[in-house]
Amino acid sequence: MAPAPQQNSSVAALAGGLAAIGIWRLMAVAAPHLGALIVMLRTETDFGSRLCFLLTWGIMNFLFIALLRRPALSGALSLTLTVIVVLLSRFKHDVVQMTANFVDLMVIDRDTAAFLLTIFPNLRWSIIGTGLVTLPLMYALWWLDPFRIRRLPAAAACLACTAALSGYAFAWPDEAWRGYYDDGYLSKFARSGVTTVSDFIAHGFMESDPASSETLKVPLVDACHPAGRRPNIIMIHDESSFDIRAAAGVRVPPGYGSQFKSYDGVARKFLAESNGGPSWFTEYNVLAGLSSRSFGRFAYFVTRIASGRVERGLPLSLRRCGYDTLSLYPAFGGFMGARGFQATTGIQHFYDAHDLHAKDVEPDSFFYDKAVKLMTERERPGTPLFAFVYLAANHFPWETTFRPDMLPAWKRPGNVPSIDEYLRRQAMSANDYASFVAALKKKFPAQPFLIVRYGDHQPEFSPQLLDPELDEAGIGKKLMDYDPRYYATYYAIDAINFEPVKSPAVMDTIDAAYLPLVIQEAAGIPLDPSFEEQKAIMLRCKGKFYSCKDGAEARRFNRMLIDAGMIKGL
């Protein structure tokens, strides 16, 4: 009778082993959902965002189940995608202070990939290593998963979650300014997918009239014949600079404000289309001569979308008049597609931070010195030149002292430290600009120059400074309504050995998209048909562009450019 207990113990052991295997398989199914719950609680901050997270989680899970029928593997793949979105969104916020949204997927390009691999050279190996670890784990989950779910119910559940998410996103669309908040990564990404796809279906990347009875003539290459001597033109992108006296109670140093005046003593206003960070909005304005607001929800990606598509702008018009064109850019050329976009608008020679041997953030004098050097070493010194000089020294943060060795005689006016640092950097910029003008006069004593400077946007602290009584929601509403107080900077015209041409287009206040027109008018450059039409809009709308007639003028003009072949694929 002795063998019986041994047989019973063997059966019990086998049953226990099978139970253990069953527990592991159940854990394989449950673990991804537990991980997603932890991610949701750590990253989503309110009921609406958490509801969107759960609906998005359902969409991914049921979609993978409909394809694979295995819930454990589907959960793991969904969790992997969720973690990737969160990590990429946090990374993007660290770089450009805005979280990822669905448009990032729609405009992936080679320049963006090259930019990431340039600033993170080990990223390629991290991706490969992650793949080598992930693939065996996915195979193990495929083998461990004991469950099989029918495809039709899974597909129906996926569609139900998609419909619920779409309904919520349309009923309570996410405010655009929330993209600057470092939270809600997956929910914002999912909601943006609903709204951006809807907008893209409605009008593509860019707003334009469906048809136009008016036409533009394509400008002829040899049709430009300036009446007088063509000046060299230098356009200077003055980072985050505006007249801070627009805010009450700010103490400024003696003589402050002279840097915002033109050669004729007039201080002119420049209405940018961004506040606090995205310089590339204004880059698009001043090179293409068009409005980033025409891109609606896609505006944040305007230079990447316009690259290879918007073949119209100031450099192209100047090249038609015999100019050489070059650009000095303070970051890597792949950032926001800058290299490709500027080439599309007519920049022949593009020098980025790598080409210029820039080390992190450089003072304005660095770029001015490089510009003078490039002008001196040109292959065709007798040819008029257009140079776009992009400065960066006045970029945030202002909580730290930038280059304390510079401007040693500086005395704090007595504001909070960040405001005083901002004013110190503006003083540094003014000194470096004066030295640049002196260098041009010395190096090129007989050559004419037209120099146009502009503030690309106000600094990120300006809304709180202008309206200290408003909370974030109130400020966000004013930003969304394009309150001109939040977007006004300056533009200034200077000249060396040249008298700027008087023109009604050189107004005291202009929208950013008109600056290329102002520059050509002040330089005495004949306008091509597209700029002639835009000049008529400018005079009719008194310096307003997109805001004129609620965007109707801009939409009409965009259609004319599309019909003329200057805008393609938008």
Instruction: Give the model confidence (pLDDT) of 195-227 as tens digits.
Output: 888 888 877 889 999 988 888 877 655 667 777
Does residue 76 share a domain with residue 147?
yes
For 235, the 3-state DSSP assignment is strand
Does residue 424 share a domain with residue 279?
yes
pLDDT of 334 higher than 90? no
Residue 58 belongs to some domain of the structure: yes
pLDDT of 506 higher than 90? yes
Does residue 392 share a domain with residue 529?
yes
Between 495 and 88, the more confident residue is 495
| pLDDT of res. 202 | 79
Which of 314, 316, 340 shows the shortest CA–CA distance to 329? 340
The two beta strands, 449-455 and 491-496, are antiparallel
**pLDDT tens across 250-266, in order?**
999 999 999 999 999 99
Per the structure, the count of domains in the chain is 2
* Residue carrying structure tokens 């914002």: 188
Q: What is the pTM of this model?
A: 0.82
Instruction: Mean pLDDT check: name the lowest of 10-24, 166-180, 430-444.
Output: 10-24
Cross-strand partners of 270: 510
Residue 4 belongs to some domain of the structure: no
The mean pLDDT of the chain is 87
Does residue 449 share a domain with residue 513?
yes
- Given a contact cutoff of 8 angstroms between Cβ atoms, the answer to whether 330 and 391 are in contact is yes
- Residues 398-417, mean pLDDT to the nearest whole number: 92
Does residue 447 share a domain with residue 400?
yes
Residue 285 belongs to some domain of the structure: yes
pLDDT tier at 417, thresholds 50, 70, 90: very high
Does residue 291 share a domain with residue 249?
yes
- Residues 321-330, mean pLDDT to the nearest whole number: 95
Six token digits for residue 126: 């991290």
Does residue 243 share a domain with residue 291?
yes
The two beta strands, 509-511 and 269-271, are parallel
| pLDDT of res. 11 | 46
Residue 350 belongs to some domain of the structure: no
Residue 539 belongs to some domain of the structure: yes
Residue 7 belongs to some domain of the structure: no
Does residue 145 share a domain with residue 87?
yes
pLDDT of 120 higher than 70? no
Output the DSSP codes for 99-158. ---THHHHT--HHHHHHHHHH-TTHHHHHHHHHHHHHHHHHHHHHH------HHHHHHHH
CA–CA distance, 486 with 389 (Å, rounded to integer): 24
| pLDDT of res. 124 | 60
Does residue 382 share a domain with residue 256?
yes
- Residues 114-130, mean pLDDT to the nearest whole number: 60
pLDDT tier at 87, thresholds 50, 70, 90: confident
- Residue where one domain finishes, among candidates 156, 183, 203: 203
Does residue 477 share a domain with residue 555?
yes
Q: Residue 166: which domain range?
A: 14-203
Residue 390 belongs to some domain of the structure: yes
| pLDDT of res. 567 | 94
Residue 355 belongs to some domain of the structure: no
pLDDT tier at 22, thresholds 50, 70, 90: low
What's the gap between Cα 373 and its chain centre?
30
- Given a contact cutoff of 8 angstroms between Cβ atoms, the answer to whether 239 and 279 are in contact is yes
| pLDDT of res. 247 | 94
pLDDT of 129 higher than 50? yes
pLDDT of 1 higher than 50? no
Using alpha carbons, list the distances in angstroms from residue 40 to 76, 79, 127, 494.
15, 11, 24, 55
Between 73 and 546, the more confident residue is 546
By percentage, how much of the chain surpasses pLDDT 90?
Answer: 59
Does residue 120 share a domain with residue 267?
no
- Residues 385-392, mean pLDDT to the nearest whole number: 96
Does residue 261 share a domain with residue 179?
no
CA–CA distance, 482 with 344 (Å, rounded to integer): 28
* CATH number reported for the structural domain that contains residue 510 in this entry: 3.40.720.10
Q: Is the bond leading into 315 cis (omega within 30 degrees of zero)?
A: no
pLDDT of 521 higher than 60? yes
